[in-house]
Amino acid sequence: MDATIQAKVDQWRNGNYDADTKASIEELIKNNPTELTDSFYRSLEFGTGGLRGIMGVGSNRMNKYTVGMATQGFSNYLKASFPNTEIKVAIAHDSRNNSRFFAETTANVFAANGIKVYLFEALRPTPELSFSIRHLGCQGGVVCTASHNPKEYNGYKAYWNDGGQLVPPHDKNVIKEVEKIASVDEVKWSGGEANITLIGAEMDAAYRKMVKSLSVYPDVIARQKDLKIVYTPIHGTGIKLVPDVLADFGFTNVTIVQEQSEPNGNFPTVNYPNPEEADAMALGLEKAKEIDADILLGTDPDADRVGIGVKDSNGNWVLMNGNQTAVLAFNYMIEARKAKGLAQPNDMVVKTIVTTELIDEIARRNNISCYNVLTGFKWIAELIKEKEGKENYVIGGEESYGLMIGPQLRDKDAVSAVALLCEMAAYEKDKGRSLYQKLIDLYVQYGFFKEHLISITKKGMDGQQQIAAMMEGYRSNPPKTINGSAVVQLLDYELQQGKNLQTGEEWKIELPKSNVLQFILADGSKISARPSGTEPKIKFYFSVSTQLPDSAAFAAKEAELDTKIKGIISDMKL
């Protein structure tokens, strides 16, 4: 075994760790050396979503000690960043196994460091944590969740005083503070219990009031209050707020998928508790068909992602992808605000660089600024902060099923998104149409954009090296053509450089560094390669487009675009 890894293992075997932890390490040494290496070969790092990892013993696992050390480092950084201030943090957690334990561990360490802690009394959606940081005037916050990851995972999302997740320099600085802690003996584990205040119902009421204020057409809901809604929380936190928020909006005909209504960290009815997966939405789809619903909605365990299902033109149920849902939501907020006289000349919308360019086109034609940021809602939050007082944020979103409506919180929010998507369905129904028909009409009006995503998983230390080698190959030797179309631009977000491969012209990309590459083809197609910051995966995003003359041509044009995407994947040997 590598000497560095061995030293870490020995530190845990001989240090001030509990007996169960030490026994688990001995078991790994004896019976599973590969797992032992993976558990200790590195320390968990803040990626795009803070700490996230498999639960277990070791420096590369989510456990009491990695959570405690992260919290001690975060405490030290907060105290250095806000001297002579009473520092306050808010803490929430989802329905995962150990989430309550990790939240209480986090609360105890903050409190032992003299920090005032507002700890939610029980599980709550992540967006409510973001809202509560702003509402309570906190300097930071934490939610213990691994979002949509498999049940073996848990995580720790760290937030700053704006209610957004940590961005540079804070994320790296917190890591530096964590790395300064040489031993778990330096963590203040207990002694500040008086600094912890439990919160719950009052914060729920304030958050619900904020969500209700986002409604644009309450008069339409009053007419369509019996819209048939099916909702599944997929064993997560959405059950705490989504039904209440739908009632606040005025909807009276909501069916909850009972098999998935109870919070449960084992997610017994699904392989992955992720509304991006058809499998996770299958029970909801069954119920929607059974009662002939108007719309199906599902949220992930921490209720920051939402997936929807609607009926197509032939009455068949289809699950919309994140890009399609975002297009409908962005367009609705732009159109509805105009129609209601709420639009401001300085309105802006924000999306990520891998989210559909149909949104850019809709914004351009409506004379609204559309900004593109790196993947992750923390960058949307950062841009809002940067533009505050100069531009008016309306909506932000990303292809991975995330939406954030209005500026009163700073992370993606599936709770408010569910309410607004139901309002949108009611608005279309009031006109005798469906959301699906609205989407096709937008394709006719603005152009038909189709996106596809594939994720390639490479586990462990070897997997990381393979992903790094793949990115280096694309970076140093980009393809000249893909699927018969010339690669005209290479955008390298790590080097912050764009290059026209035909003319040699280069320009600076004005975004923070990120390990993302994009190929822009002569035919307008766009391919993005991005290793995940939180999972052992590399993701490839494909975007192709064409004109749609009318809705009757949709099936033929969609087949054309599907063929093009398959050709790109085949040519890239993915």
Q: Helix or strand or coil: residue 493?
A: coil
Average pLDDT, the chain: 95
Burial of 272 (0-12, 13-18, 19+ CB in 10 A): middle
- Contact, 288 vs 296, CB < 8 A? yes
**pLDDT per residue over 253-288, tens digit each?**
999 999 999 999 999 999 999 999 999 999 999 999
Mean pLDDT within 53-81: 95
**Residue 84 CB contacts under 8 Å (≥ 6 apart), including other chains:** none
Distance CA 73, CA 286 (A): 47
What is the chain's Cα-based Rg?
24
User: Which helix (H) or strand (E) is 118 found in, with range?
Assistant: strand 116-120
What pLDDT shows up at residue 251?
A: 98
Is the predicted pLDDT of residue 355 greater than 70, yes or no?
A: yes
Please report, rounded to a whole number, the percentage of residues in the chain having pLDDT higher than 70.
Answer: 99
Q: Is the confidence at residue 9, as pLDDT, over 60?
A: yes
Whether 141 contacts 118, CB under 8 Å: no
Q: Is the pLDDT of residue 323 over 70?
A: yes
Contacts of 410 by beta carbon, 8 Å cutoff, 6+ apart: 130, 134, 159, 162, 163, 164, 377, 380, 381, 384, 404
Peptide bond into 169 cis (omega under 30): yes
Give the tens place of pLDDT for each residue, 60-73: 999 999 999 999 99
**Residue 444 DSSP label:** H
Our separate counts of H helices and E strands in the chain read: 18, 23
Active site residue 39: no
Least confident of 105-119, 295-309, 525-539: 525-539
What local confidence, expressed as pLDDT, does residue 573 receive? Answer: 92
- Residues 395-404 have a mean pLDDT of 97
Which carries the bigger pLDDT value, residue 167 or residue 554? 554
Per-residue pLDDT tens over the stretch 440-476: 999 999 999 999 999 999 887 788 889 999 999 999 9
pLDDT of 95? 98
Please choose, from the candidates 378, 403, 215, the residue with its C-alpha nearest in 3D space to the C-alpha of residue 327.
403
Q: Is the pLDDT of residue 551 over 90?
A: yes
Confidence of residue 94 (pLDDT cuts 50, 70, 90): very high
DSSP for 229-249, written as a single string: EEEE-TTSGGGGTHHHHHHHH
Task: Look at 146-155, 218-227, 410-419, 432-441 and tell me which has the smallest mean pLDDT.
Answer: 146-155
Q: For residues 417 and 308, give the distance between their C-alpha atoms in angstroms, rounded to a whole number.
A: 10
- Tell whether the model's pLDDT for residue 294 goes beyond 70: yes
At residue 46, the pLDDT reads 63
Tell me what pLDDT residue 534 has.
60
The whole-angstrom separation of Cα 125 and Cα 131 is 10
pLDDT score, position 533:
65
How many angstroms separate the Cα of 56 from the Cα of each of 6, 64, 65, 268, 287? 18, 9, 10, 20, 37
Under the banding of pLDDT at 50, 70 and 90, the label for residue 44 is confident
Using the structure block, give the residue that is written with the tokens 């008016």: 392
1: confidence class by pLDDT, cuts 50, 70, 90: confident
Compute, in degrees rounded to 10, the torsion defined by CA atoms 139, 144, 145, 150.
Answer: 150
pLDDT at 343 over 70: yes
Catalytic residue (choose from 132, 147, 416, 528):
147
pLDDT in tens, 484-532: 999 999 999 999 999 999 999 999 999 999 999 999 999 999 999 999 8
CA distance 41 to 64: 18
pLDDT at 382: 96
- Residue 340's pLDDT is 94
Residue 320 is encoded by which pair of tokens?
């919309």
Residue 297: band (very low, low, confident or very high) from pLDDT cuts 50, 70, 90: very high
Q: In the structure encoding, which two tokens stand for residue 374, read together?
A: 């790196």
DSSP-derived 3-state class of residue 307: strand
Position 42 scores a pLDDT of: 87
Orientation of helix 201-212 relative to helix 126-136, angle to 10°: 100
349 Cα distance to chain centroid: 17
Say what percent of the chain tops pLDDT 90. 90
Contact 112, 194 (CB under 8 A): no
Q: Are strands 116-120 and 196-199 parallel, antiparallel or unpaired?
A: parallel
Rounded Cα–Cα distance for residues 147 and 181 (Å)? 28
pLDDT confidence of 175, banded at 50, 70, 90?
Answer: confident
Mapped onto helix, strand or coil, the DSSP state of residue 309 is: strand
pLDDT at 228 over 80: yes
495 exposure class (CB count in 10 Å sphere: 0-12, 13-18, 19+): middle
Q: How big is the CA angle at 180 (ends 174 and 183), to the nearest 5 degrees? A: 120
Which residue is listed with tokens 């030293």? 7
Q: Are 133 and 164 in contact (CB under 8 A)?
A: no
